Structure 1
Amino acid sequence: MKLAIFTLVQHSIKNDTYYGYAPYVREMNLWTKYVDAVTVVGIQKPNNEVDAIDCAYTSPNLKFVAVPNFSLLGIVAVLKTLIVLPVVFFKCVSAMRKADHLHLRCPSNIGLVACFAQIFFPSKQKSTKYAGNWDPNSNQPWTYRLQQAILRNTFLTRNMKVLVYGEWPGETKNIHPFISATYTDAEKVPFSKKDYTAPLVFVFAGMLVPGKRPLLTIQFIAELNRRGIAARLEMFGDGPLRPELEAYVAAQQLEYCIVMHGNQDKSVVRNALLTAHFNILLSKSEGWPKAVAEGMFYGCIPVTTSVSCVAWMVGEESRGIIVEPELEVAVSHFIHVFKGSNLDVMAHKALDWSQQYTFDRLEMDIAGVLG
């Protein structure tokens, strides 16, 4: 089988090996295990550097087709896009013509072009991994809405399995729940009770960017302490907001309850989750809230906002706590649930749910999609 992949992920080449963003490439290596040849239509990094977050494709028969990067934000960007769009479309069509199975990665600009291109191949077997927020009631860019509309349309989009995060009622028959994974079956641990009378430990793992609301997370922990609930935040990750956050912690004298670790190895974060009581993610938007699932895998109760498929993940608060992104309201609701719930039961349910979705199961699901 010949597989064609259409992605916005930027790639670099070193010693005849292609590299890309590690979480994406690790998943794509599962897809490529079941095919004979792979064509990746994507963007090459301008500097061709292999970054620390990158890893290599493992397919021995991989061809990379570079397409120009483009944007639809702003008049100048749109004018440039009109020039390169025919090139991108032609390269997508050419790759699709030679492939047996078409795999789109959406939402993305290249995914949008591929959504239109695949219409001309109704008999080809296809799949799309929609790695964004599929919630039909969420506020999203019009380009995302357009991709969703094309993918839902079973007349324009034939022989397609659209893999989305979560279960959404009333969807067309080609929409299928599909969950990403970080850990393997071998990394499962048995449930272990934690002492919720001790000072509470929260883990934040993610980029320090406005969309993750790291400042609100810090303020949340500080407010818990102010209200008499001893709590400490172990903060993993880096990003443009780090200097501002460090300055805030120092100015507010919060070093006693906020520890900023920066980027750390996966094993370090795992060890922190094993002993923490809660993992916290107060995002504005998510596709698959990976940090939530990872914390649940080790029995951490998630404290999170209701974005994307989070409500489904936490079983409408049977295995997690959903808060509003407003400090006083969020803290008050957390304290209400914390004092009125059986936290051991909640944590056990979180672990049981997340440990269903391992890398091993993901590989089986992918094999099923490829048929």
Structure 2
Amino acid sequence: MKRKKLVIISHTEHYTDASGTICGWGPTVHEINYLADYWEEVVHVGCYYSYYPPPSSVAYTKTNITYVPIPAYGGSTLRKKIGILKKMPGIIRTVKKQLIGATEVQLRTPTAMGLFLLPLFTWFWKRDYIFWVKYAGDWEQEKPPRSNGWQRWFLQKKWIDFPVTINGFWPHQAPQCYSFENPCLTEENIATGKLIAATKKFEPPYVLTFVGRIDHVKGVDRILKALSPLPHGIIEAVHIIGDGPERALCEKLASQLPISIIFHGYLDRATVHQFLSASHFFLLPSSNEGFPKVIAEAACYGIVPVVSNVSSIKHYLHENNAYVWDINGQQTFESVLGEAVFSEKLQLEQKSKKIQELATLFTYTSYFNKLNKLIFKETFN
């Protein structure tokens, strides 16, 4: 039996494509498309942008999903950041209206509107529905942005009487905080990934792939520096998928290296998976993360990760299934990448098999089962 109405509130970017169809950030929309099978009605309240959508955006595929726009907010300047104050009353009215008839409500944080929505849900709005908060940021970050840090602090307090899902497993975790994996894979993905991984040969020249935002936090500049000393012939190609403020600078740096480094910009999910399926190593020397879904997507195809040990990444990746760079240690990312590409074939094959096991934790099926058990406290018939 289906539940009645799920309301999701997030800052997910939405756009209108050339055909007039509303589309949004792929990972979130894929997840909502899956969840829609279990509710009569799903409402997603999210930010709307008037410019053309990037290739990473996709349309909703289920007819019982309704997208409700709220104005975009935020930016790099103080003036843009505080601009949300003018938009706050309209956002509150929109959210409050959509709560009518809801049986389940999820608020996705950290986001600037969490600063006022969290107190409203906690103390001022009557909740006759199941309510939970997803905190997708780095739960361990020492110096988070003030907004993120306040929301994390708020969600750990004793006054919280609703579940909070977080990335990773932490000492002294508040009782209302549940460790959850971010879903991104279907059972079909897992089956296909196993077949592809079984044919992967860990012999040079290797194909390396990065997926994410191109800036210093994600570490594309670190990747380029680490590639420089590698001998000719050991790397076939490096695929950089994504975009960001430092793309032009990184492209200039890459042009000085004797390696085929291709910047693809944003790509749709199917194309990203094609590149992942043909890769040997997945690179992410990031200095700040929650838990990126793309690590699980790469794991599905038996790609060996070469990543930093920030936040909850270290709870899932270790010496048995990856090459993990201690960002605060003495070893450089350059030496970790070198260790990876010069490893014995058997060692790489073993890590590839182990990392595939990790992927099964990140299926939509596993996620929904966990929601039933820990958030809804019941099982669907």
Same topology, TM > 0.5? yes
Q: Does 1:352 align with 2:354?
A: no
Distance 1:26 1:197 in 2: 34
For the 8 Å contact 1:30–1:363, the answer to whether it is kept is: no
The correspondence of residues 119-134 of structure 1 with structure 2, limited to 5 A, is 119=122, 120=124, 121-122=126-127, 124-134=129-139
Shift of 1:220: 1.1
Q: Distance in 1 between matches of 2:20 and 2:101?
A: 22
Structure 1, unaligned stretches of length 5 or more? none
Alpha-carbon shift at residue 111 of structure 1 (Å): 3.1
Kindly indicate whether the alpha-carbon contact (under 8 Å) linking 2:325 and 2:332 is maintained by their aligned counterparts in 1: yes
Structure 1 residue aligned with 2:35, among 31, 44, 69? 31
C-alpha separation in 2, matches of 1:123 and 1:86: 23
Give 1:308's aligned residue: 311
Alignment partner of 1:57 is 2:63: no
Give me the whole-angstrom Cα distance separating, in 1, the residues matched to 2:211 and 2:81. Answer: 35
Q: Cα distance, 1:95 vs. partner?
A: 3.2
Give the structure 1 partner of residue 215 of structure 2.
209
Counterpart residue number, 1:147: 151
Change in 2 beyond 3 A, CA 1:354/1:64: closer
2:75–2:81 CA contact under 8 A, matched in 1 = yes
> Which of 189, 193, 199 is the matching residue for 2:205?
199
User: Per-residue deviation at 1:34?
Assistant: 2.0
Cα distance, 1:172–1:72 mapped onto 2, change above 3 Å: farther
Unaligned runs of 5+ in 2: none
Q: What secondary structure does 1:345 align onto?
A: helix
For 1:236 and 1:72, the matched residues in 2 are separated by 25
Aligned residues of 2:209 and 2:241 also touching (Cα < 8 A): no
Residue in structure 2 matched with residue 230 of structure 1 by the alignment: 234
Q: CA deviation at 1:321?
A: 1.2
Q: Normalising to structure 2: TM-score of the pair? A: 0.81
Cα deviation for residue 25 of structure 1 reads 1.1
- The 5 Å alignment of 1:1-371 reads 1-12=4-15, 18-47=22-51, 49-71=52-74, 75-77=78-80, 80-119=83-122, 120=124, 121-122=126-127, 124-135=129-140, 137-155=141-159, 157-158=160-161, 160-187=162-189, 188=191, 189-190=194-195, 192=198, 195-196=201-202, 198-225=204-231, 230-240=234-244, 241-250=246-255, 252-254=256-258, 256-314=259-317, 316-324=318-326, 329-336=332-339, 339=343, 342-366=347-371, 368=373, 369-370=375-376, 371=378
- 1:62 deviates by 4.5
Deviations 1:111-146 (A, max 9, x none): 3332122113355311222222122x4321121122
Output the aligned Cα RMSD. Answer: 3.2
Match of 2:33, as an amino acid? N
Give the percent of matched residue pairs that are identical in Structure 1 and Structure 2.
22
Q: CA shift at 1:50, angstroms?
A: 4.9
Contact 1:5/1:40, CA 8 A, preserved across alignment: yes
Measured in 2, the distance between the counterparts of 1:262 and 1:217 equals 17
Residue 196 of structure 1 deviates from its aligned partner by 4.5
- Residue 194 of structure 1 and its aligned partner are, at CA, apart by 5.4
- Contact 1:93–1:117 (8 Å) recurs in 2: no
Deviation (angstroms), 1:264: 4.4
CA contact (8 A) 2:25 2:57 kept: yes
